[in-house]
Structure 1
Amino acid sequence: MSTGLFAPISAPIASSDLLSTDHVGARFRIAMVVPPYFDVPPKAYGGVEAVVADLVDSLVARGHDVTLLGAGEPGTKAKFVPVWEQAMPHRLGEPFPEVVHALKVRRAIERIAATSGVDLVHDHTFAGPLNAPAYLGLGLPTVVTVHGPVDDDDCYRYYSELGKDVSLVAISDRQRELAPDLNWVGRVHNALHVDQWPFQVEKGDYALFLGRFTKTKGPHLALKAAHAAGIPLVLAGKCSEAPELAYFEKEVRPLLTERDHVFGLADAAAKRKLLAGARCLLFPIDWEEPFGMVMIEAMVCGTPVVALRGGAVPEVVVDGVTGRICDDPAELPAAIAEVRDLDPAACRAHVEANFGAGTLGRGYEQVYHQILRSRRLARAAQLLGETVPVRIPV
């Protein structure tokens, strides 16, 4: 019988098991989930896949054990589990592959957890976070990078309903500001491996549009601006889905002149060549762009960005140093002329300092530390609360 004020602990609990929350130098076992539509890294289109490729390579270089679950061929330093034999770019936008992919991934992660073990799941898909409750049953937290918009009603409701089952990571401060009540745990800007991109001082006599052919991306505005500035425009990007094709025929084709060139979808090598040689990248968006990878891809090649203010643009471009940020499409032609005098080396230096792949790995490592630390503290509080009842002195 105890004669003190507190009852004895029913079983010994090592403080190192419960209260040691410093994961610095820890080796995490991460299940990294990507969509089933493109290889990682992508051969052409695939912004999410490009970011994930750099992320997993950075994490592996930092000593973590990363298993990448996706489709297609292996292309990173991570262990690769193809839940589909081939990537399915032709089915992008269909709900069926997304949902079946989530089911296949869940089964694969259950097998991995039962064999080699997993510390957390990091999901980059849309339907995948619906697996989070099942993963919690295995003791696994789910981290979700939100690569798309959160400001439209449908997306907001989706992430809101996920609640605290998932820990959300924003890719820009602006994205987080648009839905501050979601379960955000941090912000990590997208990044790239600087040494994998060419640097070119001498530029060609063309402006470049590189992106999906949609009204929100603004290729029609890019054409009007380039024509007003007296410079040819090269248009490269994805135009394969029915809405993209319809938009191209209605809004883009009527504006094309004999000086313009529709390049089509550029693979990795062609994209680098186009970006390095352009006088500027035109980024006349008409929506809250969550990040905009093509902006840092242009700047790392020494090519300034001429953009409309929106989304993360002010976080990525330094106005007057690495490009020009305009508030109205009418300002774009003058901006195209102004960026001719900007220093290409300053553009690349800005990416090296702020958007190098090392920042990507460090940023997510801190997120993992935070989440696992919180779980360990919660477990400590729960166990201590259950086994160390307080006796009130009389």
Structure 2
Amino acid sequence: MVVPPWYELPPPGYGGLEQVCAALVDALVERGHEVTLFGAGASTGTSARFVPTEAELQAHRLGQALPELAHLARVNRLISPEVFDLVHDHTTTGPLVAPLRPVPTVATVHGRPKGELGDILREVDPSVGLVAISAAQRRLHPELRWAATVHHGIRWDGLPHKSTPGTGPVLWLARFSADKGPDLAIRSCRAAGLPLVLAGKLDDPLEKRYFAEVVEPMLGPDVRVVRNPDRETCLELLLAARSMVLPIRWEEPFGMVMLEAMATGTPVVALDRGAVPELIRSGVTGVVCRDPAELPDALRQAAVLDPGDCVTHVRTRFSAERMAEGYEALYRDFAVSAAPEPVRAGLAPATARH
């Protein structure tokens, strides 16, 4: 399992990719697989064997090309067919260098496969299995050689949930960006007469500029701001919230925060963009709105939804175990297709690749 060198697994705060990868690693180990995790830093909170390629996490260089490329070059030197059957890559440029490895690679695409990322993915060798995280993501670039679609999942170990609707403020939980619509969250909650907590990542220069220019002038006594909350604080806010509002303005490929909210029994009110309709059962686990003008009424409707329905929905459709099962089928297929003919003959039939 190859992850970017920016954050540890699982992340202490913001880090959806890292949270997903940590859940997947532990689920695979529980299912009997031997998993080696290549990352950066001193340790991992997962049950995998950890091999760091860099002693220090590279979060301060997030977005730069060289840290990830150097990380991948070191990983490739350590990959041996005598030790590994398959590589699962979660980095941005990893799919491009995957053909240099002596074992097959599947690569999960975590971002929006358009623009520069789309250009990278278009040049990926056909031997690399690209994995989409939602049908909405695949629709953004259907010409890519997608091998499968596997929804993210979350772990349930020690995760509390409420049995009655929350009575606290509406919660917005994301990074401070126009794409995530914190300004729409303020307007919709104000129109509905409901208090709001804006909790999110606020350390990048662009995030700070957006907050200062757009969000801060809109603040009032009905809005509380929580900057860079850790995981424990996020959980406390989710359990107290009457609902979550996520008025996104972009085609978000997934949205782990929606799963986290519903897993604690908190319904989600969101705009119909990206993977939102794949994750929310509108009228049961939240409300999906086509227009921002619908948000105030939707927030009132969400207050009466059953928290138990939210929890059951995520447990049934978006567990870490279900995610691991989806990847297992793909792993088996790629390991068999890449094996020499004498080895293939002794293996059970695998699901055909798309």
TM-score range, shorter chain: over 0.9
Contact map agreement 2:72 2:94 (CA 8 A) in 1: yes
Q: CA deviation at 1:187?
A: 0.7
Task: Give the equivalent residue in structure 2 for 1:89.
Answer: 59
Whose Rg is larger?
1
Distance of 2:183 and 2:241 partners within structure 1: 18
Q: CA deviation at 1:141?
A: 0.8
Task: Give the equivalent residue in structure 1 for 2:22.
Answer: 53
Task: Give the equivalent residue in structure 2 for 1:28.
Answer: none
Distance of 2:199 and 2:58 partners within structure 1: 21
Deviation readout 1:140-190 (Å, 9 max, x if unpaired): 11110001001x222212101113141101100111122122111111100
Contact map agreement 2:16 2:256 (CA 8 A) in 1: yes
Task: Give the equivalent residue in structure 2 for 1:129.
Answer: 95
Q: What SS class does the counterpart of residue 234 from structure 1 fall into?
A: strand
Contact map agreement 2:252 2:275 (CA 8 A) in 1: yes
Task: Give the equivalent residue in structure 2 for 1:13.
Answer: none
Contact map agreement 1:163 1:183 (CA 8 A) in 2: no
Task: Give the equivalent residue in structure 1 for 2:153.
Answer: 191
Distance of 1:97 and 1:231 partners within structure 2: 44
Aligned-residue CA RMSD (Å): 1.7
Q: What SS class does the counterpart of residue 302 from structure 1 fall into?
A: coil
Task: Give the equivalent residue in structure 1 for 2:242.
Answer: 279
5+ unaligned residues in a row in structure 2: which ranges?
Answer: 346-354
1:78 maps to 2:77: no
Tell me which amino acid in the other structure corresponds to 1:238.
K
Contact map agreement 2:165 2:266 (CA 8 A) in 1: no
Q: CA deviation at 1:82?
A: 1.2
Range 198-207 or range 212-221, more displaced: 198-207
Tell me which amino acid in the other structure corresponds to 1:314.
P
Distance of 1:167 and 1:196 partners within structure 2: 34
Deviation readout 1:281-328 (Å, 9 max, x if unpaired): 111111111000000000000000000001110000000000000011
Task: Give the equivalent residue in structure 2 for 1:294.
Answer: 257
Matches within 5 A, 1:20-31: none
Tell me which amino acid in the other structure corresponds to 1:128.
G
Tell me which amino acid in the other structure corresponds to 1:51.
V
Task: Give the equivalent residue in structure 2 for 1:366.
Answer: 329
TM-score scaled by structure 1?
0.84
Contact map agreement 1:91 1:97 (CA 8 A) in 2: yes
Task: Give the equivalent residue in structure 2 for 1:42.
Answer: 11
Q: What SS class does the counterpart of residue 164 from structure 1 fall into?
A: coil
Task: Give the equivalent residue in structure 2 for 1:107.
Answer: 77
Q: CA deviation at 1:202?
A: 4.4
Residue identity (%):
47
Tell me which amino acid in the other structure corresponds to 1:198.
P
Distance of 2:156 and 2:281 partners within structure 1: 18
Matches within 5 A, 1:139-218: 140-150=103-113, 152-200=114-162, 201-218=164-181
Q: 1:380 aligns with which of 341, 345, 348?
A: 341
Q: CA deviation at 1:275?
A: 0.9
Contact map agreement 1:300 1:347 (CA 8 A) in 2: yes
Q: CA deviation at 1:127?
A: 1.9
Contact map agreement 1:163 1:182 (CA 8 A) in 2: no
Q: CA deviation at 1:349?
A: 0.3
5+ unaligned residues in a row in structure 1: which ranges?
Answer: 1-31, 385-394
